[in-house]
Amino acid sequence: YTLIEAGLSKIAAIASNVGGVPEIIEDKKTGLLVEPKNAEALAQAINYLLENENLAKKLGENLHQKIIKDFRLEEMLRKTFELYTQYYDIG
């Protein structure tokens, strides 16, 4: 939920490349991805965005656009329905 909240607020996100995160964060397009458990990479990413305010703003805006496109209720319901119809061969 944190990444969705960041996107709705147009805040640039930095996240680890695990689980469903890459579904939301595309490295250097909708945020920055760092390797999990790598504190140095995380610190570098934070400093990089602090030093590049225009990039941070652009990543926040791109994330916002992705969230409102891909994670609105109607879209999520449509995707869920597609999964069920494919899995159970109904439709």
In sequence order, the 6+-apart residues with CB closer than 8 A to the CB of 22 are 33
Rg (CA), the chain: 15
Sign of CA dihedral 44, 47, 48, 49: positive
Q: What is the pLDDT of residue 91?
A: 57
- Residue 21 is encoded by which pair of tokens? 């995160």
Tell me how far apart the alpha carbons of residues 22 and 86 are, in angstroms, rounded to a whole number.
23
Q: What is the pLDDT along the chain (91 residues), one digit of tens a residue?
A: 799 999 999 999 999 989 989 999 999 999 999 999 999 999 999 999 999 999 999 999 999 999 999 888 888 888 889 888 888 877 5
SS3 of 85, please?
helix
DSSP for residue 31: B
